[in-house]
Amino acid sequence: MSKIYTKTGDSGATSLVGGSKIHKSEAILDVYGTCDELNAHIGALIAEENMPFLTEIQGKLFIMGGILATPTAKYEQYWKEISWESFLTKIEKEIDEMDATLSPLSSFLLPQGSRAIAQAHICRTVCRKLERKISHFCTHNESFLMLLQITNRLADYFFILARFLHKKSGVREKYLKMR
């Protein structure tokens, strides 16, 4: 039986896709660690509201994490067959279908209502955090540009999902009172 611990990271280094090693304090680890964090939060959302598209998103996030963990020089070797355009279109379709059932927003929506609704908002905020981190790396690696578009759209998806869950569960949305 293989053990979960390898002890290879005990010195503070970790391996990237392709085998090169970097120190665990490198900023890129924070980026794909945030991708993993989002994936775990989606798992918590699935525990409350199991929707097949959420599991599909999780799979794509694992691929995204792999891409982020790949040195630019090795990108073509490992990820040249990956196409994100159809997934981006699918996210937009999911957003449009849910949004068509919702009334227009009248003010800022407070992130509350039920566990599932709050968890969708947590997914949205962690997704925005991931988007900001990827944005920083886009200045250094153009191959991350599509990942930036995916995270931007996913954050929109989680916002609309939260609103959709309000409607589905019959929990009224709460808006910020400006006065």
114, 151, 104: which is closest to 132 by C-alpha?
Answer: 151
Half-sphere exposure of 62 (CA within 13 A, CB side): 7
- Per-residue pLDDT, 121: 98
pLDDT band at 63 (very low <50, low <70, confident <90, very high): very high
Write out the two tokens for 90. 């699918």
- Per-residue pLDDT, 79: 76
User: pTM value?
Assistant: 0.91
Decide: helix, strand or coil at residue 30. helix
- The answer to whether 119 and 41 are in contact (CB under 8 A) is yes
- Per-residue pLDDT, 83: 82
Residue corresponding to tokens 């191959």 = 143
CB-based contacts of 74, cutoff 8 Å, min separation 6: 16, 17, 18, 20
- Per-residue pLDDT, 16: 67
Decide: helix, strand or coil at residue 1. coil
Instruction: Count the Cβ atoms, other than its own, within 10 Å of residue 10.
Output: 8
Residue corresponding to tokens 């599509």 = 146
Distance CA(28)–CA(22), nearest Å, equals: 10
Of 14-18, 93-97, 121-125, 127-131, least confident by mean pLDDT is 14-18
